[in-house]
Amino acid sequence: MISYQQVLKEIERQVQRARQTNQESTIREALAAVRSLSEVALSGDGEPSEQVVMPKRVEMPQMTQPTPVQSLSSLESTPLEEADGANGKSLFDF
Q: pLDDT tens digits, residue range 23-70?
A: 999 999 999 999 999 998 888 655 544 555 666 666 666 666 666 666
Distance CA 10, CA 32 (A): 12
Question: Cα separations (Å) of 11 from 49, 80, 84?
Answer: 17, 73, 85
The per-residue pLDDT for 43 is 83
The predicted structure's pLDDT at residue 37:
93
Higher pLDDT, 89 or 27: 27
- Compute φ and ψ for 33, nearest 5 degrees: -65, -40
Kindly report whether the global pTM for this prediction surpasses the value 0.85.
no
